[in-house]
A = this chain, B = another copy of it.
Amino acid sequence: MKLHPIGVIHSPFTERAGMAIQPSGAAGVKGTVEVLPEYAEGLQDLDGFSHIILLYRFDRSAGYKLRVIPFMDTVPRGLFATRAPARPNHIGLSVVRLERVVGRVLHIDGVDILDQTPLLDIKPYVPAFDAPQECRTGWLEGLGGAARAKRSDERFA
């Protein structure tokens, strides 16, 4: 299975270190998604959605370990119980706010993605499909504020 980028994500974060220390998470962090011209037609109707799901490539992560110590934790955890970017398939997922669509550029808020990240897919975010109720969040619950913080793959890695 071979993937091809359909665009690129622009953000203020040129390296992971900067993302990791964002104290209040990604809320308020602005960025853009630039979709390649050949896919622009597929953006029609997207502006009706307040939030979108971005799938992208963790292109600055290589390899993986099956146990990782999350940034905010001190105990090794199973990789699939974390959002660490170094995974068997390096696919990242972020739910971001869609502020406006200008041609083939999406203006987004809540960006916890490195600049120049290759975009793989855009899906509309639909609470009825994507937001289950009454959730437990495992090891994150012991971290207090961590589980309530806006996500950052880096802090949560």
Which positions in A face B, CB cutoff 8 Å?
1-6, 39, 41-51, 53, 55, 57, 66-67, 77-83, 87-91, 93, 95, 97, 110, 118, 120-132, 134-141, 147-151, 156
Contact = CB atoms under 8 A, between A and B. Distances in A.
Contacts of A136: 48-50
A110 B132 CA distance: 10
Contacts of A151: 126, 128-130
B120 A125 contact: no
Copies of this chain, count: 2
A87 B83 CA distance: 24
A66 B89 contact: no
A8 to B, nearest CB: 14
A42 B4 contact: no
Contacts of A118: 1
Contact of A130 (B46, B48, B87, B95): B95
A89 B147 contact: no
